[in-house]
Amino acid sequence: MLIAPEVAPEVAPEVVEALDAGRPVLALESTILTHGLPRPRNLDVARDAEGQVRAAGAVPATIGVLDGVARVGLARDELERLASDSEVVKLSTRDLPVAAATGASGGTTVAATAHLAHRAGIRVFCTGGLGGVHRGASETFDESADLPALARLPIVVVSAGVKSVLDVPATLERLETLGIPVLGYRTTAFPGFYVADSGHRITHAVHEPEQVAAVRAAADELGLDAAVLVANPVPEHEQLPPDVHDDVLARATAALVERGIGGQDATPFLLEFIRDATGGASLEVNVAVYRNNVALGVAIASAIAGR
C-alpha cells in the first residue's frame, strides 16, 4: 500500500517566532545557489545575503527542498548542502509533490519559492531576475511558470525585471494580462537584469519602500490575489555596459538558433554564453543585482511589518 508522504513545509523556529511577533522576514530563493552561480561562489553569496538581511534587522528565510521536505528558512548546514551538492535539481511548483514523494532535494524556482513563502505567511520575496515569456513562444508556448504563479500569490516580489535573454515586451504583456501590478523602483524604465534599462517602459513608479507597502495593503483590501512585482534596476555603475550587452546577446541568440537548442536548455545556454563572452563580467553583475534586490526587499519587508 502506498503511504502518502508528510508534505507540509517545515518552517524554521526563528522564522515562526519573527512572523508571530510581527517582525520583518524576507524570503530568498535557492536556485540562484543550486543553478545560478558557480561553486563555491554560490555559498558565499548566499551567506552574504542572509547576513545583509540580519544586519538590516530582519530575519532571512532561504527556501529549498531537502530529502523531499520543503524548508522555509535553511539552517547553516542545510544551506551548505544545497550549495555544494551537484546532484540537486531545480524545482518549480509542479515538481514539489514529486520531490515530496520521491525524497528529492533541490533549489526552488521563483514560482516554488513564492508559493512556499506565502504558505508560511511571509509577505516579501527577493530574487535576481523573474522568469517570463521565451523568445519564439508564439510557436513553442514556452513561458515560465513564474508568471501564472505570481498571478495567484498575494505577496511582494522584488526582481531586476526579467533576464534580457527572454522576450521582454511579451513578458510585460503577460504580466498585464495576468493582473500583476509592476512597480518600477524610482524609475519607469523596465530593467533588463544585466542592464538598468531594457528599453521598455512601465506605467507606475514608486520611490520609497513605504509606498510599496501601501500598494500591497491596498491590493489586499481590494481582494486582489496577484503579487505586486517591484522592478528594481541594477545601479548603472554596476550594470553590464549596454553596448557590450547588446552585442553579446545578439551573438548568443544566433548561436542558440545555429545549434538548435530549445526548451529548458535555452536559458542556461544563453546565460553561460554571455558569461563566457564577457569574461565573467556578467557573473559580477548577477551578484550586484542580487545584493541590490536584497537591500530593497528587506526595506520593504520592514515597511510592511511597521504598518
What amino acid positions are annotated as catalytic residues? 29, 163
Residues 6+ apart with CB under 8 A from 222: none
In this structure, the number of other CB atoms found within 10 A of the CB of residue 136 comes to 14
Q: How many CB atoms lie within 10 A of CB 92?
A: 20
- Inter-residue contact 182 to 202 (CB < 8 Å): yes
Which position has the grid cell 531545480? 90
Distance CA 290, CA 283 (A): 11
CA distance 297 to 292: 9
Q: Round to whole Å and give the CA distance between 134 and 170.
A: 8
Calculate the alpha carbon distances from 122 to 17, 47, 276 in Å: 12, 20, 37
Buried b / exposed e along 207-243 (16+ C-beta atoms within 10 A): eebbbbbebbeebeeeeeebbbbbbbbbeeeebbeee
Helices (H), the chain: 13-20, 31, 41-55, 76-84, 96-102, 110-120, 137-140, 146-150, 168-177, 209-221, 242-259, 266-277, 281-305
In terms of Cα–Cα distance, which of 300, 45, 3 is closest to 156?
A: 300
Query: H helices within 85-162, ranges in order?
Result: 96-102, 110-120, 137-140, 146-150
